[in-house]
Amino acid sequence: MGAAGNLGSLFFAPDLQQPQRPPRTRAACSRPPPPSRSPDAARGRGGGGGRGAPAAGARPELGPRLPCAAARSADGRSPQPARRDIRPEHFSFRCQPRTGASRPEAARRRGPTAARSSPRLDHWTMSRVLWTVWVLGAVTNLSKEEASDQASSLSCDPTGVCDGRSRSLNSMPSGLTAAVRSLDLSNNEITYIGNSDLRGCVNLEALKLGSNGINTIEEDSFFSLRSLELLDLSYNLLSNLSSSWFRPLSSLTFLNLLGNLYKSLGETPLFSQLMNLRILKVGNIYSFTELQEKDFAGLTFLEELEIDASNLQRYEPKSLKSIQNISHLALRMKQPVFLLEIFADLSSSLKHLELRDTHLNTFRFSQASISETNTLIKKWTFRNVKITDGSFSEVVKLLNYVSGVLEVEFEDCTLDGLGNFNIADMDTIKNIGGIETLTVRRLYIPYFYSFYDMSSIYSLTEDVKRVTVESSKVFLVPCSLSKHLKSLEYLDLSDNLMVDEYLGNSACEHAWPLLQTLTLRQNRLKSLEKTGETLLTLKNLMNLDISKNNFVSMPETCQWPEKLKYLNLSNTRINSVTRCIPWTLEILDISNNILESFSLILPQLKELYISGNKLKTLPDASFLPILRVMRISRNTISTFSKAQLDSFHTLKALEAGGNNFFCSCEFLSFTQGQQALAQILTDWPENYLCDSPFYVRGQRVRDTRLPVSECHRAALVSAVCSVLFLLIVLTGVLCHRFHGLWYLKMMWAWLQAKRKPRKAPPGDVCYDAFVSYSEHDSYWVENLMVQELEHFNPPFKLCLHKRDFVPGKWIIDNIIDSIEKSHKTIFVLSENFVKSEWCKYELDFSHFRLFDENNDAAILILLEPIEKKAIPQRFCKLRKIMNTKTYLEWPTDDTQQEGFWLNLRTAIRS
């Protein structure tokens, strides 16, 4: 549910959700008695339960009686849904009160036959009861759903404005409360308004019930609406109007009763209590036939009156005399039978008379009919009026009779003739020369090309100052007519067929000598150069609108009237601007074209309208030194800066929304940080949306926030560099503290070793063992180990770094190659060993062979006892090897040394 659901408790009383309807006649609860039965059948005698036997249909009572809807009708047919084969004898419930014997006595009377048939009867009883309950439940749910639909059909906002238009409502919504201030139920199917339908709407100010089918309104339906200001009952089926409806409506200012079925406005004054009524609309196109003198009595302050008197047959004189303050009268009538009588009753306060849908073919002016009128009508409007040659002269006479007419307007009219006006009558016209404004819109002249010379009406145009002729297929204004428009200051020929070739004939020499504003919008002009040259004769022309013509291109130079200040070239498909634009302009509108740049020097330009093009940047401010207003919306501008805006020193208003803004950090900082910017940007902030970056597309520029990495890149780089520097320092400290360099060197050496073959071919093994030892233990190695192993028979070939490393080769490569070319690796462990950097490398690579290649190549000799705490942390692999391999310990006892060498030789051979 929409707003109506959210505000249901406010606008609808919770206990009045069921829509009220007009009272309907219902059948009485009691039904005619069933067809008579034989006494035997009534007592349960005779037979075993045939269709007509009541004993077969008898069954115990099942609680209270159902409503009449469940009972069968007088003709024996049940009200159950169609296509359900339930026979009449299945029903035994009745609406009338139960009479007869008690249950035990009834059971006794039924006898054994009835008792035997009771199981089948109970089955039918339960089926019928369940079916009846279902029907009643469906009816109840339908009523609830209908009530819910009625309530949900209105959408109400928090201010109390409820909209129920075009919701197929067939009755007034129920439960309306005092919170409703405006109720629109137009275009529904409501036919009846009851006394209580609007009783709760004590604060209602506007009620719109137009275009329903309302034919009945109870006398007190509007009794509670004392705050009502607007009431629309138009286009319903009301055949009679009652003054009691309007009696409580003391605040009413607008009343629309158009388009109903009433013939008159009643026998008594209908609106006498509506003292505050300002606007009234009455009548209909078919059945409204008479106006009486009392009809508008009491309407002291009525300002606007619309009467649909299309079929008026009787007009009682002085019917409009009682309306003293009326300023606008709209009169719709097919034939002008009572036009002069109505005109004679018009008040002197009337300023605007509007005649609609009238055929003036037979109209004849009679001065005697209106001799007593003192009206001072300033404006006449003829809307959808048909005029002939003869009636045109009569209308001119009527206008001539009324002094003070300043404006005449023709809209959607038809001039059915050849322009053969009565010249003699025209010569008698004097007062009509006061008309200053003539407006013609959508005038249709069937025989325009057969028109006579219109010189007979030239004298009517000499004092006209403003002429508008729109959408009337004008392609030429004769030069002779243009010359007679000596006082013309404003001419609008929009949406016609003017072309360059005939424009010169219209703007001929001495034509429109005082013309200041010329509008040729939406014609068929194609050449800017010809248009400018043609209008050079208009010495006083200041404003020119030639928009919506198909110019396409612009020549390099053009000639224009010297005093031209305003030029409108919008919607002309121009793709570039040149010096054809006069430099004297103060206002230029060149919007909705295909411009990609604007670089004209216009030193006097104050207002520039250039929206709807393809500009990518703001124009150069140095070319527009006194520009005050600029509209440059709907282009392809991606950004503008504070410096650009500041360069327009006199700019007061800028409309730049609807562009493809790139929301960079600089642009956002400028637009969001300038509080005074909102005073210059007239469409800020609604129309300023980001187009890029993609992740902020569609967001308002004012509300967009970019990540810190976008807007503070220098600070971010500085912070990152600082963090990196700290990390480097911290890493150096940690490496020094935890011997990180050792691990790095080891990793590099390991990677180098990985590139080599995992296992050297047998031919590449040159040594029986590579000896890894500290330089401080070289005496023991060179004088004892070498003597015992290399001078043994057969001798062992040992690899010593002093003797066998290749000169000039990187020491790590020598270590790797020596280990790879040796069958075993002997580690002479001592406190000096664990202090040696190179010994650690040799130990690490031996560890690689031991674990990575699954090669048992390491032999450990413990030359002297080493305390656990003396082994540095970087020798963690030494601990692992000593934990996983058996090592030889050098004995200090000479008697045990022979066994040591024997074990060492055995380990090397293994």
Confidence of residue 424 (pLDDT cuts 50, 70, 90): low
Highest mean pLDDT, choosing among 40-54, 198-212, 658-672:
198-212
Q: What is this structure's pTM?
A: 0.66
Q: What is the pLDDT of residue 814?
A: 80
| Cross-strand bridge partners of residue 279 | 254, 304
Q: What is the dihedral of CA 98, 102, 108, 112, to 10 degrees?
A: 40
With 0-12 / 13-18 / 19 or more C-beta atoms within 10 angstroms meaning exposed / middle / buried, residue 638 is middle
Q: What is the pLDDT of residue 50?
A: 39
Q: Give, in order, the Cα–Cα distances in Å from 208 to each of 173, 238, 299, 657.
A: 13, 15, 22, 39
Measure the CA–CA gap between 162 and 181, rounded to whole angstroms.
8
| Cross-strand bridge partners of residue 858 | 825
Least confident span in 40-49, 425-434, 600-609, 762-771: 40-49
| CA-based radius of gyration for the chain | 55
Q: What is the pLDDT of residue 411?
A: 96
Asked if 885 contacts 906 with a C-beta cutoff of 8 angstroms, the reply is no
Altogether, the residues listed in the chain come to a count of 910
Q: What is the DSSP letter of 649?
A: T
H or E element in which residue 112 lies: helix 103-152
Asked whether residue 333 carries a pLDDT value surpassing 60, the answer given is yes
Least confident span in 63-77, 204-218, 650-664, 786-800: 63-77
| Residue whose token pair is 């050079």 | 536
Closest to 495 (Cα-Cα) out of 469, 522, 524, 518: 522
Q: What is the pLDDT of residue 521?
A: 97
What average pLDDT does the segment 284-302 reach? 91
Asked whether residue 22 carries a pLDDT value surpassing 60, the answer given is no
Label the pairing between strands 155-156 and 161-163.
Answer: antiparallel
Asked if 278 contacts 252 with a C-beta cutoff of 8 angstroms, the reply is no
Measure the CA–CA gap between 54 and 42, rounded to whole angstroms.
6
Closest to 283 (Cα-Cα) out of 262, 261, 308: 308
Closest to 338 (Cα-Cα) out of 313, 368, 374, 367: 313
Instruction: Look over the chain and give the mean of its residue pLDDT values, rounded to a whole number.
Output: 79
Asked whether residue 35 carries a pLDDT value surpassing 50, the answer given is no
Return the amino acid letter for 56: A
Q: What is the pLDDT of residue 135?
A: 64
| Cross-strand bridge partners of residue 799 | 770
Closest to 403 (Cα-Cα) out of 426, 432, 427, 424: 432
Supply 197's token pair: 């339908």
Supply 125's token pair: 């009883």
With 0-12 / 13-18 / 19 or more C-beta atoms within 10 angstroms meaning exposed / middle / buried, residue 787 is exposed
Percent of the chain with pLDDT over 90: 41
Supply 292's token pair: 């009486």
Least confident span in 28-32, 368-372, 486-490: 28-32
Measure the CA–CA gap between 403 and 378, rounded to whole angstroms.
9
Asked if 176 contacts 201 with a C-beta cutoff of 8 angstroms, the reply is yes
Asked if 489 contacts 514 with a C-beta cutoff of 8 angstroms, the reply is yes
Q: What is the pLDDT of residue 298?
A: 87
Q: What is the pLDDT of residue 296?
A: 92
Confidence of residue 864 (pLDDT cuts 50, 70, 90): confident
Return the amino acid letter for 871: I
Asked whether residue 96 carries a pLDDT value surpassing 80, the answer given is no
Return the amino acid letter for 237: L
Q: Give, in order, the Cα–Cα distances in Å from 264 to each of 239, 246, 712.
A: 9, 16, 80
Measure the CA–CA gap between 641 and 667, rounded to whole angstroms.
7
Q: What is the pLDDT of residue 499?
A: 94
Return the amino acid letter for 699: Q
Q: What is the DSSP letter of 885?
A: S
Confidence of residue 103 (pLDDT cuts 50, 70, 90): very low
Q: What is the pLDDT of residue 429?
A: 57
Span 128-162, pLDDT tens digits: 667 676 666 665 555 444 444 554 568 889 999 99
Q: What is the pLDDT of residue 658?
A: 92
Q: What share of the chain is helix, strand, coil (3-state, %, to 5)?
A: 35, 15, 55
Confidence of residue 763 (pLDDT cuts 50, 70, 90): low
